[in-house]
Structure 1
Amino acid sequence: MRVLIVEDHEELAHTVAAGLRREGMAVDVALDGHTGLERASVNDYDVVVLDRDLPGLHGDEVCGRLAAGDRPARVLMLTAAGTIDDRVSGLGIGADDYLPKPFAFAELVARIRALARRTRPALPPVLVHGGLRLDPSTRVATRDGHRLMLSPKEFAVLELLLSARGAVVSAEQLLERGWDEFADPFTQTVKVTVSRLRRKLGDPPLIETVPQAGYRI
């Protein structure tokens, strides 16, 4: 899962980003509305965590432009103003969810995961394929009842492949959705991660390489 945090309070932005990375998410940070909108226009994010009270380009304007665009990202709006009217107006301009500050980090994680499941078509809370079972909320993956000890990136790749429901996912798409903006597009990290993941999944093999296209389960 890839998340963009648009928050002008630098310490808060990087603290939240670090926490989300520990939850296995790929996270980018923007400290103002213009930068956030620019990054959201060129990268495919599952969720944008958007502070409403941004300097320069206000969060309302960013949210409205994101909602009017063709990017699939869901918007979770943050604000220090937590009245009912504030929440209603925030949802009215295109936000998918609304969380007042201060917030509990566990609730933020839960809301991000809930929004990420609201794709088209919607994904179930637990991804299952035969004896393979992956629960994003608990960060647990098992095969035939045996827990798989996966690194965060291996877990992310497996989640993306299962979410594709048999469709081919290219290496570029895996890099785009599973790594942050600092990932080298010419790296072999996706190939290496898939190779390690195959070994941990065991036999019979589950991940198929589709020549010149990518990977699928």
Structure 2
Amino acid sequence: MISALESQKNSLQEVRIGFCAINEEFEVLKICKNLETLRILNCDQTVSKILDHKVSNKISTLEVICCQIYPQPIVLVLEKSGILLQRLILELNGDDSHEYTLLLEALKSSCPNIIYLDISNIKFSTQLVELISGLQKLQFLSLWRYNDGIQDEELKKQVIQFSEILPLTLQKLELDYSLMPYEDILLNHCNVPLKKSLVFFY
């Protein structure tokens, strides 16, 4: 079925890959020159094989959910897509490695036009704050914070810093339930009118 996509190589704009193992058949994605949207759901750990070399064109929407993520291939796609990338959904592995810092740096330097950002298992960090503050077109932001055992006072400081840098273009903010006790702090330091669009989810 995947190889049959070759007949649509000049018209195909979106590909959704789910619940499968990645193999050589996916080489066909290289020749889909108008591919703009790539959604990968519940694939095996070789998902990096798609992102590494098979996607040769620029992407405006990228979703990688319930997959074993290796940041370096995603960094390559981010750098290649650059200003065209507008929607990004990533479910990270909850690891605070140097590679995830590279991923945030790639987003910050290469993808300023993101309007929809959804990242799960991300740790609050200086790099994350700098990234969000630079996304001046951001309209939707969803963050599921990686539980890193940070102390209460330090987390309060991070929430304040995070609140103060939210872009004025932001229309909806979703945060995981662990930040619910800090709702007042967030709203009191936020310059964006979020009182009707702040959602805590489980």
Task: Give the TM-score normalised by the residue count of structure 1.
Answer: 0.28
Q: Which structure's relative contact order is higher, taking Cα pairs within 8 Å and 6+ residues apart?
A: 1
TM-score by structure 2 length? Answer: 0.29
